[in-house]
Amino acid sequence: MSNQSKIVLVLDDDENVRKSFIDFFDDRSWKTLSAVTAEEALEVLTREPVDGVIVDIRLPGMNGDEFIQTSRLIFPTLAYVICTGSPEYDPPKDITVLSQVFNKVFDKPCTNLNAVEEALRLQIEKCNRQGK
């Protein structure tokens, strides 16, 4: 598959959600990494090469949007897809318009995870094109 070597980092503080994403991406032949907090995710990013991140917004400690703002400066080709369970906790508008972030925010729970995968794949391709 074309995604053979792509690496996804799942950032979500809910264990079952995190695991479901990991399982899903595993099955689709992604390499998967996970992080419970934004701080941990930043640490993982410095250690491992990552293509895209599934970001939850409401997190203990640093928030998802802060995480994106911080990490995108260090990793300018990193792709982000936001998947949040707090509709009232809208991410700031300036996050979704960033070229590295997929323009649609997915609500948790997602009825169709394929759509999330598709979005991540598209965003990674876009970021790679921009990086070149």
Which residues of this chain interact with another protein, rule CB under 8 A?
A: 14-17, 19-21, 23-24, 26-29, 58, 85-89, 107-113
Residues in the chain: 132
Q: Which is nearer to another protein, 68 or 83 (CB)?
A: 83
Closest separation in Å from C-beta 62 to another protein: 16
- Of 86 and 130, nearer to another protein (C-beta) is 86
- Token output for 59: 């997190």
Q: What is the gyration radius of the CA atoms in the chain, in angstroms?
A: 13
Cβ atoms of residues 110 and 118 within 8 Å: no
Nearer to another protein, 75 or 106 (CB): 106
Least distance from another protein to the Cβ atom of residue 130, Å: 30
For the CB of residue 74, give the shortest distance to another protein in the complex, in Å: 28
Question: Which CB, 108 or 126, lies closer to another protein?
Answer: 108
Residue 82: CB minimum distance to another protein, A: 14
Which letter, b or e, does each residue of 17-45 get, where b requires 16 or more Cβ atoms within 10 Å of its Cβ? bbebbbebbeebebbbbbbbbbebbbebb
